[in-house]
């Protein structure tokens, strides 16, 4: 069976750990040359080491909230590997704090929206310019099941992920005729650093498992497999879709 991303060039932001790292590894395994990007240089370099083939993987430090940094990221990606076929806008944050809206500090809202929404916005703008020049491409954004349903106490995070779903759908329609597909994944409770505080707490872990009918937390690799598929030609007729990867959470 041929590799799903053979001879493609992929860019993954937030690839220094978690879903981003798992995605970079999966894309490399499926034949892609991969640019690993993160604000965390140590984590990003470690991902490149794990890929194990320096001729097909490179780390580029970038801050997705900075237009100049994003522009340089895409420019350097094309300089290194010659094109940009697949872009995974995965960089995201969650403060870990839960409170009703009126108690959430304004700075928390600004921080979450800057990374989770502005970051996706800036990355897509620059990626799309490159893909228009090439004649097409595939973009996958990382949203969340909280971009589809409510989760009490995380209004700023929910707002940011609903925005990612909206950006995905609208951009998909805007560029469908140009050969650019845009989708997003909506993970549920996944075992990453972002949820570490919860899965190290037996009571909170039990609660998370109970919310997902499949009865367990998801793994980064399970989300990565969906991202690889959405990025591949196997999903050539799929665009504007928020794909839930949540053990059945939003189906309830």
Give the residue numbers marked as catalytic: 157
Query: What distance, in Å, lies between the first and last C-alpha atoms of the chain?
Result: 36
**For residue 223, which of 2, 1, 13, 24 has the smallest C-alpha distance?**
24
Determine how β-strand 242-245 pairs with β-strand 9-13: unpaired
H/E run at residue 139: strand 137-142
Q: Which residues contact 147 (CB under 8 A, 6 or more apart)?
A: 158, 161, 162, 163, 164, 165, 184, 186, 242
Task: Let me know the angle formed at the C-alpha of 29 by 27 and 34, rounded to the nearest 5 degrees.
Answer: 45
């Amino acid at each position: 069976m041929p590799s799903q991303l053979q001879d493609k060039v992929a860019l993954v932001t937030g690839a220094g750990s978690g879903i981003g790292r798992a995605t970079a590894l999966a894309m490399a395994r499926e034949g892609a040359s991969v640019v690993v990007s993160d604000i965390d240089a140590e984590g990003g370099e470690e991902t490149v080491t794990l890929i194990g083939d320096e001729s097909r993987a490179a780390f580029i430090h970038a801050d997705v909230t900075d237009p100049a940094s994003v522009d340089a990221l895409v420019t350097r990606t094309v300089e290194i590997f010659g094109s940009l076929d697949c872009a995974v806008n995965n960089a995201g944050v969650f403060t870990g704090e839960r409170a009703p809206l009126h108690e959430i500090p304004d700075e928390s809202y600004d921080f979450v929206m800057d990374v989770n929404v502005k970051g996706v916005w800036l990355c897509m703008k620059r990626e799309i310019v490159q893909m228009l020049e090439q004649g097409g491409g595939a973009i996958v954004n990382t949203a969340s099941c909280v971009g589809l349903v409510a989760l009490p106490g995380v209004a700023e995070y929910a707002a940011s992920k609903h925005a990612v779903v909206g950006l995905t759908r609208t951009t998909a329609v805007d560029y469908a005729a140009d050969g650019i597909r845009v989708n997003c994944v909506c993970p549920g409770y996944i075992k990453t650093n972002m949820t570490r505080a919860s899965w190290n707490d037996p009571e909170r872990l039990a609660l998370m498992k109970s919310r997902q009918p499949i009865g367990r937390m998801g793994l980064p690799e399970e989300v990565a497999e969906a991202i690889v598929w959405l990025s591949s030609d196997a999903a050539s007729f799929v665009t504007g879709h928020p794909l839930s990867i949540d053990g059945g959470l939003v189906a309830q």
